[in-house]
Amino acid sequence: MDSLYFSHIKSLTSFYQDTLERFQLDQIIIASGTKSYYFQDDYTHPFKPYAYAQQWLPFDVEPDTFIVISNHSKPTLIWPLKEDFWHAQQNLPEGSWSDLWTIKPTRANENWADTIKGKTMWLGQDIAGLSDKFGRYDKTLAWLDYHRAYKSDYEVDLLKQANVRALKGHHAAEKAFFEGKSELDIYLDYLRTSQQTSPQEPYSGIIALNQNAAVLHYEHKQIQSPDKFRTLLIDAGAKVTGYGSDITRTFTTDNNLFNELLCKMDQIQQSLANKSIAGTDYKALHATCLTEIANLLQESQICSLSAEEQISKGITQTFFPHGLGHLLGLQVHDVGGHQVTPEGDILKPPSSAPFLRLTRKLEENMVITIEPGLYFIPMLLEKMQQSLPQHGCDMALIKTLIPFGGIRIEDNVLVKQNISENLTRNS
């Protein structure tokens, strides 16, 4: 781990130093962020450090931490010394990582920012007007965002570890489902086995039983078990040093059509993951996914129309209304997914796939998700029936599938030349 971290910092430092030169800056200051309070309350939101600060440090970054990168020296860590007997204080983690840093333990009343001279970019949440004192540079930010897509070996290693950790939880959740536990109990088994508290998750885990699986970002955890167990859709990850996994699995007790659809969706998902190699246009991969799902709808007699006709009428999109996936890293939906040049040019998703979060061509060392879905969402089905009388769908058959909710299967994939590495299935 040390050697991966060392080379990560070496290349990140040289990338930032090139960035300073390119944009004629003397420094970049990165703020980790500060705690924020609930409205008219003295309790804070769970703290999540700014991704650009976390990218530099091999431990979970605390609030009120600053990083200064200049052209002439090692990166500087402004480490907050706090006098606060209400909360636990984090000691500076020990280890050889600190050899790469100039560390300045600093009290809140010490005006470290006054010593910074020259043209300086402020990166992060404003703290006490410092972002105005220095400056925000949108073009530089776009440049940094674009390059965040390419992961170093250190970052890939953390993403692999985040997969291993989450998968332990997924296995526990599968077991809990077949034992007949409630959404809440499945969630608690997931958290315990993946060794995390809920605020430590990369996003709040989705634990959806039966028809709840049709709600894409279902946010509840029912305390009561349902009378009948049909489906578990679990979309849940884990973080390691800020890097999060994002994994979805669907399980069913069914032995008929829903189970057949689930097996076919797994095949489609794996073939798309295998196609995620350098040079592939992700928009085209999404279009392939849509065609495969349309073929599946036709083969299973859910819709009698050809794939082409289904897609042109928006029928397949009724069953698969979201995008194929996204960039993954320090943020679940990592930055820069629509940014097709380092200068900041944006390519919006096509109108046939308005929720597609990634429109870039895949390149080596990107980490992405591949997450096709097939859902029976009453709201969208009603809309389809109202707007398209010639929809060709067997509504009686669909009615039998609605209680199962839906299917999503999601893996995290490292893009390489000529091959992809599935971090979820191979970790």
Our CB check for ligand GLY shows the closer of 332 and 388 to be 332
Q: Is 215 in the site for ligand GLY (CB under 6 A)?
A: no
Distance, CA of 390 to chain centre:
38
Nearer to ligand GLY, 157 or 246 (CB): 246
Contact between 246 and ligand GLY per CB under 6 A: yes
Contact with ligand GLY (CB under 6 A) among 201, 235, 292, 411:
235
Location of structure tokens 């900041």: 344
326 is in an annotated binding site: yes
**Residue 322 annotated as part of some ligand binding site:** no
Judged by beta carbon distances under 5 to 8 A according to partner kind, the member of Mn ion, ligand GLY, none in contact with residue 184 is none
Query: Under 8 Å CB-to-CB from 75, ≥6 apart: which residues?
Result: 9, 13, 56, 67, 68, 69, 100, 101, 102
Q: Kindly identify the residues of this chain, within the stretch 51-110, that bind ligand GLY according to CB under 6 A.
A: none
Q: Which of 62, 185, 246, 411 binds Mn ion (CB under 5 A)?
A: 246
Residue 170, marked binder: no
Minimum gap (Å) between residue 193 Cβ and Mn ion: 18
Burial letters 373-401, b for 16+ CB under 10 A, else e: bbbbbeebbeebeeeeeebbbbeeebeeb
Binding residue (CB under 5 A) for Mn ion from 235, 292, 334, 411 = 235
Element (H, E) at 78: strand 76-81
- How far apart are the C-alpha atoms of 423 and 413, rounded to whole Å? 6
* Structural element, H or E, at residue 415: strand 411-415
Q: How far is the CB of 210 from ligand GLY (least distance, A)?
A: 19
- Consult the annotation and say whether 185 binds a ligand: no
- Taking residues 356 to 385 in sequence order and writing x for each that binds ligand GLY by CB under 6 A, - otherwise, the string is ---------------x--------------
* Listed residue (356, 352, 371, 408) closest to 218, CA to CA: 408
Name the 3-class secondary structure at 40. coil
Question: What is the DSSP track for 341-395?
Answer: STT--B-PPPTTSTT----SBP-TTBEEEE--EEE--HHHHHHHHHH-TT--B-H
φ, ψ (nearest 5 deg) of residue 415:
-85, 130
Q: Pick what 203 binds: Mn ion, ligand GLY, none; C-beta below 5 to 8 Å, kind-dependent.
A: ligand GLY
Q: Flag whether 64 is marked binding.
A: no
Collapsing DSSP states into helix, strand and coil, what is residue 246? Answer: coil
User: Is residue 320 a contact partner of residue 129, using CB atoms and an 8 Å limit?
Assistant: no
The yes or no reply on residue 203 touching ligand GLY (CB under 6 A) is: yes
Nearer to ligand GLY by Cβ, of 215 and 332: the residue is: 332
Q: Which residues pair with residue 239 across a beta bridge? A: 244
Cβ-based nearer residue to Mn ion, 318 or 369: 369
Region 366-385 residues binding Mn ion, contact defined as CB under 5 A: 369
Comparing CB distances to ligand GLY, the nearer of 62 and 201 is 201
Q: Which of 130, 184, 278, 332 binds ligand GLY (CB under 6 A)?
A: 332
> Cα-flanking dihedrals φ and ψ of residue 3, to 5°?
-70, -35
Nearer to ligand GLY, 45 or 217 (CB): 217
Any idea of the CA torsion for 129, 132, 138, 142, to the nearest 10 degrees? -40
Q: Which is nearer to Mn ion, 65 or 248 (CB)?
A: 248
Fill in the DSSP letter of residue 118. S
Chain positions contacting Mn ion, by CB under 5 A: 235, 246, 248, 369, 410
Q: Known binding site for Mn(2+): residues?
A: 235, 246, 326, 371, 410
The binding site for ligand GLY (CB under 6 A) comprises: 203, 235, 246, 332, 371, 410
